[in-house]
Structure 1
Amino acid sequence: MQATGLGCSYHGRAVVSDVELSVPAGQTVAVLGPSGAGKSTMLRCLAGLEPLHSGSVRFQGETLSRAGGRPRSVGGRIGMVFQQFNLFPHLSAAQNVALAPVRARRLPKKQARAQARALLDRVGLGEHADHYPYELSGGQQQRVAIARALAMEPELMLFDEPTSALDPEFTREVLAVMRDLADSGMTVIVVTHEMNFARQSADRVVFMVDGRIVEDGPASVVLTNPRQERTRRFLDQMLGE
């Protein structure tokens, strides 16, 4: 994944400006920064969900999107998990996970159902495959959302504050699944305020302020000895909470 000169504006106001980001396969990147820094917008630009006003995004050698153009479909190779679970309430957990492979990949229903149950096992919800969203906790619903994204067999997973709406107990459940994905070698970019995840699972930390990346380096370096004073103040506040 490579973003070059990435820029995005809303109503004439720049939200993301001049972002340069290259993420090699297999790397886990934690994106940190204060609220309103443009982290989520940048992630949506990487996923092809926002129009670019400058720059371009390339994925596996192909141009995914560029300024003034329409994003190209990557056929499920990029998965994204949002703050909200967005599950279909009238479908069971297994049906939620199996839906996209049947519709988008034309996977036979029997094969999609078997895959869905295997993925729910992977995220620790095998016994809840036939439960509906209202029967699941917030953490369980978010894990279903992760399984749903994995059902499209992505090569890159994007997470946008996936634990921000969860209680601490459920946060731990979701972070454990994310750590498993990172440890498995999947390419992962996570917008998060979870400092333990950044410290324990990220290879690299990117710090954003006012729509720009102001610090980018190995997690062990950025989290312990940041170059920028703004990064240091943010980390002191987060680690002191």
Structure 2
Amino acid sequence: MNDLKLAPPGTPIVLEARGLGRSYHGKAVVSDVDLAVPAGQTVAVLGPSGAGKSTMLRCLAGLEPIQTGSVGFQGGPLSEAGGRPRSFHGRIGMVFQQFNLFPHLTAVQNVALAPVRVRGVAKEQARSEAVALLDRVGLPEHRDHYPFEMSGGQQQRVAIARALAMRPELMLFDEPTSALDPEFTREVLAVMRDLAEDGMTILVVTHEMEFARRSADRVVFMAEGRIVEDGPAATVFEQPRHERTRQFLAQVLGE
């Protein structure tokens, strides 16, 4: 996929941050972030622990207020400094490190719940769509299983199906495989690759270097709350411009 390089001129921008900043107790965690995510592109965010990646993602999702700058979604404002983020009722889907499934609901019930309550979909239609989504993420035989009856990888795939049930125009992933062992990690990454190949717009914070290298169109590298490098995946991995990026990749890739 990274043969696509950067998005062609004229591609609509789904998500855009300008001068984004977020602080906790007077300490800047994210500083002066400018980022644009075009439609249909997969953007991987890399960086060391504590770089502000997850905080940035939560600000972009409208889950946290920002102190400086602004965030726009589909050409309209999502967040502005000092204001409350707007709700887009599922048009931005988010998958977290932890699965956060309702333990008393089956997989199909977990997936069907939000469309009924938020989108106003009829229960039977929501269940039918949920069944199709569980098939899509490779879990047709687990639709009536409860979370405790499923592995971590299976639960995370249910979480992805739950986010897709709201028919989002953008999917945000925050280290979706960090709590999984290698076998289950492969299962989740395979679903994410399928979404990318289907043209879903994706922004993912990840430590999975092979996924970033092979499945992302662009790679954004963060350090100390700032975007240090942003470019086509192949270029960032093979010819990183910034010394901090080179150091990070050498360490994580063992080169």
Same fold by TM-score greater than 0.5: yes
Q: Distance in 2 between matches of 1:15 and 1:71?
A: 18
3-state SS of paired residue (1:198): helix
Q: Distance in 1 between matches of 2:25 and 2:125?
A: 45
Q: CA deviation at 1:89?
A: 0.4
Q: CA deviation at 1:159?
A: 0.2
Q: Where does residue 6 of structure 1 map in the other structure?
A: 20
Q: 1:100 aligns with which of 75, 100, 114?
A: 114
3-state SS of paired residue (1:4): strand
Q: Distance in 2 between matches of 1:23 and 1:148?
A: 23
Q: 2:170 aligns with which of 156, 174, 187?
A: 156
The correspondence of residues 198-209 of structure 1 with structure 2, limited to 5 A, is 198-209=212-223
Number of residue pairs aligned between Structure 1 and Structure 2: 241
Q: Where does residue 16 of structure 1 map in the other structure?
A: 30
Q: CA deviation at 1:237?
A: 1.1
> 1:142 is matched by which residue type in structure 2?
Q
Q: 2:155 aligns with which of 128, 141, 144?
A: 141
The correspondence of residues 88-237 of structure 1 with structure 2, limited to 5 A, is 88-237=102-251
- TM-score, normalisation: structure 2: 0.94
Q: Distance in 1 between matches of 2:181 and 2:119?
A: 35
Q: Distance in 2 between matches of 1:182 and 1:236?
A: 27
Matched, 1:36 2:50: yes
3-state SS of paired residue (2:177): coil
Q: Distance in 2 between matches of 1:185 and 1:97?
A: 22
Q: CA deviation at 1:238?
A: 1.0
Provide structure 1 residue ranges, at least 5 long, that are not aligned to the other structure: none
Q: Distance in 2 between matches of 1:43 and 1:223?
A: 22
Q: 1:51 aligns with which of 56, 65, 73?
A: 65
Provide structure 2 residue ranges, at least 5 long, that are not aligned to the other structure: 1-14
Q: Where does residue 5 of structure 2 map in the other structure?
A: none
Q: Distance in 2 between matches of 1:223 and 1:52?
A: 31
Q: CA deviation at 1:229?
A: 0.9
> 1:130 is matched by which residue type in structure 2?
D
3-state SS of paired residue (2:51): coil
- TM-score, normalisation: structure 1: 0.99
Q: CA deviation at 1:77?
A: 0.6
> 1:144 is matched by which residue type in structure 2?
V
> 2:218 is matched by which residue type in structure 1?
R
> 2:221 is matched by which residue type in structure 1?
F
Q: Distance in 1 between matches of 2:253 and 2:129?
A: 40
3-state SS of paired residue (1:72): coil
Matched, 1:64 2:78: yes
What is the RMSD computed on CA atoms of the aligned residues? 0.7
Q: Deviations over 1:116-149 (max 9, x none)?
A: 0000000000110000000000000000000000
Q: Where does residue 7 of structure 2 map in the other structure?
A: none
Matched, 1:79 2:93: yes
Q: CA deviation at 1:239?
A: 1.0
> 2:253 is matched by which residue type in structure 1?
L
Ranges of 4+ aligned residues in structure 1 off by more than 2 Å = none
Q: Distance in 1 between matches of 2:195 and 2:60?
A: 19
> 1:223 is matched by which residue type in structure 2?
F
Q: CA deviation at 1:75?
A: 1.8
